[in-house]
Amino acid sequence: MDKLRFTPLVAALPASVPFVGPETQQRVSGKPFEARLGANENGFGPGPKTIAAMQQAATETWMYGDPESHDLRTALAAHHGIAAENIMVGEGIDGLLGYLVRLLVGPGDKVVTSAGAYPTFNYHVAGFGGELVTVPYVNDHEDPDALVAKAKEAEAKLVYIANPDNPMGSWHDADTLQRMINNLPEGCLLVLDEAYLDFAPDNTAPALHPDDTRLIRMRTFSKAYGMAGARVGYAIGARDLISAFNKVRNHFGMCRVSQAGALAALGDQAWLQECLAKVEASRNQLNAIARDNGLVPLPSATNFVTMDCGRDGDFARKLVQELGKLGIFVRMPFVAPQDRCIRVSCGPAREMELFAAALPAALKAAAANAPQSV
Amino acid sequence: MDKLRFTPLVAALPASVPFVGPETQQRVSGKPFEARLGANENGFGPGPKTIAAMQQAATETWMYGDPESHDLRTALAAHHGIAAENIMVGEGIDGLLGYLVRLLVGPGDKVVTSAGAYPTFNYHVAGFGGELVTVPYVNDHEDPDALVAKAKEAEAKLVYIANPDNPMGSWHDADTLQRMINNLPEGCLLVLDEAYLDFAPDNTAPALHPDDTRLIRMRTFSKAYGMAGARVGYAIGARDLISAFNKVRNHFGMCRVSQAGALAALGDQAWLQECLAKVEASRNQLNAIARDNGLVPLPSATNFVTMDCGRDGDFARKLVQELGKLGIFVRMPFVAPQDRCIRVSCGPAREMELFAAALPAALKAAAANAPQSV
């Protein structure tokens, strides 16, 4: 297609995508998944009040959503005790990460992350011509000191950390994160992805100082609030950084139904607490299922459990495939040595039972098919 | 905020936004609009089947939407008699225009449009460093021959035309558009924005040749299907161009409720036809209201009527303000000489009555307050 004059940057980008959706996998296999435990969705939510608000808003979908998401931002500001000017609502954290990278990263700019951390962030960095520099996980944790050291060395514009971490479920305490913030090199912005924070113990998040120009924090309604399909994320950051999103974002990108749903969900904290208790119970179930099958569940501050299979990446990949054949959708870390694990989302009782029932056979099949990796 | 290292391109971008939403205007005035006729939303839709599908999907919003929008793309392909590989679904035409510009336009690349055409397209061009070159409207129509000539002269990568046009409501026939396509300079892609096509007479759209690499067409569920708040647009183009969107788009950007709604809406063509008849009746009402008040309604192939006020832009701006004070939200073209007009969306009977009731007083107030422009 020589007639298409893509930019040199776009022409050089790979056609690969960060994640293949479960629907695509189902279409390939011709068989629907019976348990959808691979995308860290939250099968317990959203609550009835939220669903009712979305259903009401569906009758008003002839109107564009408010491009400022004013009501939601105002409610979030009250919820966090900060100003609405420190909050930007966007099309999920994925969308907001794309805008953020676009604001700061141009061809050749350095960005630091952990090898095996969130691929969609890496996708955005590559998409704007940034150069990704990685540091390894240490004991299945991201390494704040190494990330900061690498950011200094590379004179990076951005450094990314998720706390709690995806895909490992591990976390650092607030003091560790605050030390990371304090040690950042001048002019390097920390992207603190807190998508899973609601599931984490107290004292996981450093105190909110929204006008601190050294970091931007990402939150979402996709995980604890159980609204992945609604695409509502938000960023908390310094006002000048937040307002800069208005230079590049899709102003009318937010769905009206999603705005109404997020507002209702935020207002129903009782449901959130119920949901968190259910997730914790499910996490305990997953821990037990893993141990019953000779896998080692890693400690998790999220709505998933990453399970060490005790072998190499080939074995874990095989296990993910075998589980898929048995109707169980799970995923796994992409990068060694974390790819010795599989990652299983929490979910309702039926999904836990299906996973527990399928795991022994899947392990057996994976072992039979991957003898070289024993 | 010297600590924030925006890219040079972003640092140079203006903070202005393409459109201020009606909600913002309401917050400023402290008074809600009684008739929302400014954003070319469609108050007649969506239909009950679509709303029911969205309400059902709201119960499944814990799941991410299918990143490939497979079912919707397949249904669209069948509807148009083309292949799904020629279709990209995205977050409204606004979102798709952003991705398209990103694919093709880098700093200094030339893009041609009409002076006063869609500001959001211009926003994206500026946002990726492109240089906008404009040609004037002729008799309130975009000028295909001049656009092509300017594209040749500027060696433009992209040339934009909306057919039917927004904000003027005018249109060209299929032959004129096909001639434009045939005359495009080598390597220049035509962006044919057909957001309003459903309202237009037969023989407005050139035949679909989806693998023609010379153009990409934009369609939407926001207008005739009445789903502006759901953010569902789609592009029809050559496969290599369509697949290139996968290099830059927000793969999980589509809301699950919106995907379900668009699929249902596409399947309810009877409702669409009813809706189109209602829009036509409303358009006739708007024409009559305009004439009754000494304004000249321009011929329209859209769901809005652009009304020539017979004075200058200052008068029209004043009229828009005065209508706003009376609870009527309308907009107007941004650029002279088109800015002698106001633009009023079709809508249900109550909104038509409110507009008819408010217009005489608003005209009087505008005339009293803008004597210098008589």
Domains of chain A: 20-45+270-373 (3.90.1150.10), 48-267 (3.40.640.10)
A62 and B228 Cβ atoms separated by less than 8 Å: yes
Residues 316-335 on B with a CB inside 8 Å of A are: none
Q: Which residues pair with B161 in a beta bridge?
A: B192
- Of B120, B180, B178, the C-alpha closest to B146 is B180
In the predicted model, residues of chain A with pLDDT beneath 70 are 1-2, 370-374
pLDDT for the residue numbered A372: 55
Q: Among B17, B42, B238, whose Cβ lies nearest the Cβ of A1?
A: B238
Q: At what angle do helices B22-29 and A70-80 cross, to 10 degrees?
A: 70
Task: Specify the pLDDT at position A373.
Answer: 45
- Residue B308 predicted with pLDDT over 60: yes
> What's the mean pLDDT in B283-309?
98
Contacts B231 to A, Cβ<8 Å: 65, 252-255
Average pLDDT of the residues of chain B? 96
Q: Minimal Cα–Cα distance from B372 to chain A, Å?
A: 35
Q: What is the pLDDT of residue B18?
A: 77
Identify the closest residue of chain A to B128 by CA–CA distance.
A248
How many Cα atoms sit within 13 Å of A228 on the Cβ side?
20
pLDDT for position B1: 42
Exposed, middle or buried: residue B270 (CB in 10 Å: 0-12, 13-18, 19+)? exposed
Measured distance CA(B345)–CA(B326) in Å, rounded: 16
Contact flag B255-A228 (C-beta cutoff 8 Å):
no
Amino acid, single-letter form, for residue A105: V
Q: Is the pLDDT of residue B56 over 50?
A: yes
Residues of A within 8 A of B258 (CB-CB) are: 255, 257
Q: Which pLDDT does position A1 carry in this prediction?
A: 42
Identify which of B266, B276, B338 has the alpha carbon closest to the alpha carbon of residue B307. Answer: B338
Dihedrals φ, ψ of B215, to 5°? -150, 160
Tokens encoding B162:
């909306």
| Nearest residue on chain B to A243, alpha-carbon basis | B15
pTM over 0.90: yes
The partner residue sitting opposite A63, judged by closest CB among B41, B91, B186, is B41
Interface probe with A: pick from B1, B2, B4, most Cβ of A within 10 Å: B4
**Cβ neighbours for A199, distance < 8 A, ≥ 6 positions apart:** A164, A223, A224, A276, A279, A280, A300, A301, A302, A303
Joined tokens for residue B159 = 């040339």
Q: Which residue has the higher pLDDT, A45 or B167?
A: B167
Residue B260 structure tokens: 């379900």
Cα–Cα distance for residue pair B323/B35, rounded to 1 Å:
10
Q: Chain A partners of B7 at a C-beta cutoff of 8 Å?
A: 102-106, 109
Quick one: pLDDT band at residue B371, thresholds 50, 70, 90? low
pLDDT for the residue A369 = 73
**A215-220 sheet: strands from edge to edge:** A87-90, A233-236, A215-220, A189-193, A158-162, A110-114, A131-135
Residue of chain A nearest B10, judged by CA positions: A103
Task: Please report the pLDDT score of residue A370 as a whole number.
Answer: 59
Q: Predicted ipTM?
A: 0.97
- Are β-strands A158-162 and A110-114 bridged in parallel, bridged antiparallel, or unpaired? parallel
